[in-house]
Amino acid sequence: MRIRATNVCGMGQTPDDMLSAVSASLAERTGRSLDEWVALVRASGIDPLDQNAVRKWLRSSHGIPQNSQWAIADAAARDAGWVRPTVAEYVDGQYSGAKAALRPVYDALAAAIGDLGGDVTVEGRSTYTPFVRGRQFAAVAAATRDRVDLGLRFTDPPHAARLQPATAPGQATHKICLRSVQDLDDEVLHLLRIAYEQNA
**pTM of the model as a whole:** 0.75
Q: CA–CA distance from 79 to each of 35, 76, 192 (Å)?
A: 10, 5, 39
- Helix H or strand E segment including 131: strand 129-132
Which whole number is the average pLDDT over 83-87? 89
Q: Which residues face 149 on adjacent strands?
A: 141, 177
Whole-number Å distance between alpha carbons of 11 and 22 = 14
Q: Is the peptide bond before 169 cis (omega within 30 degrees of 0)?
A: yes
Nearest Cα neighbor of 17 from 55, 71, 64 is 71
26-53: per-residue pLDDT in tens?
888 899 999 999 999 999 999 999 999 9
Nearest Cα neighbor of 177 from 163, 165, 161 is 163
pLDDT band at 3 (very low <50, low <70, confident <90, very high): low
Whole-number Å distance between alpha carbons of 99 and 146 = 7
147-177: per-residue pLDDT in tens?
999 999 999 999 999 999 999 999 999 999 9
pLDDT, the chain, mean: 90
Count other Cβ atoms within 10 Å, centred on residue 119.
12
118-142: per-residue pLDDT in tens?
999 999 888 999 999 989 999 999 9
Residue 56, pLDDT score:
96
